[in-house]
Amino acid sequence: MKKYRYYPLEFKLRLIQEIESGLRSKAAIAREEKIACSLIDHWQKKVRDGTLVDHPSAPDRQLMKENDWLKKKVAEQAMEIDLLKKNRRVLSTHEKVEWVHRHRAEYGVTKGCEIMDICTSTYYYKPKKSRAVRGFQDAQLRCMPSTESGQVNSII
């Protein structure tokens, strides 16, 4: 595969200026720089039209492509964040906690709570059992067989 030579914009403009000022002829420049006269004609035409521009190098093009992709990704994420912020106002606290619980592997609890606009203490909050439930559970524990003597504990 033939490798193309790259000529910087400054080089092109300097050659064209030398031709127009009469320092060197087009043929002499073509011979010395080992470039075709038609290429110099092409550059002169672009200078007259005002369309002669410096093209980015391959690494620059790769960076520009990556930059465009990152801009697109940031825009998508900004839209997602806006959507989440709008929807989190509609959700109940319980639904927000459930969302954080489902996505804790992706975002972590702290970041999930931040996204849902709730405190981490809200996520970790466990309501106390009512006295009736605790009393029933205590009674069940008292009636369980003792592990030491094998006897059944009676209700005190």
Q: Judge if 62 and 44 occupy the same domain.
A: no
- pTM (2 decimals)? 0.39
Q: What is the pLDDT of residues 3-50, one digit of tens each?
A: 778 888 999 999 999 999 999 999 999 999 999 999 999 999 999 998
Count up the domains in the chain and report the number. Answer: 2
Taking the C-alpha atoms of residue 111 and residue 156, their distance in angstroms, rounded to an integer, is 49
Q: Are 82 and 35 within one domain?
A: no
Q: Looking at the chain, list the stretches that DSSP marks H as alpha helix, in order from N- to C-terminal side.
A: 9-21, 26-33, 37-49, 58-88, 93-102, 104-107, 109-116, 120-124, 131-142
CB-CB contact of 37 with 80 (8 Å): no
> Do 88 and 41 fall into the same domain?
no
Q: Convert the pLDDT of each residue in 74-109 to its tens digit.
A: 999 998 888 777 777 788 889 889 989 999 998 899
Q: 74 and 19, same structural domain? A: no
**Helices 58-88/109-116 angle, 10° precision:** 70
In the numeric block, the tokens 């030491």 are attached to 148
Provide the domain limits for residue 120.
Answer: 58-124
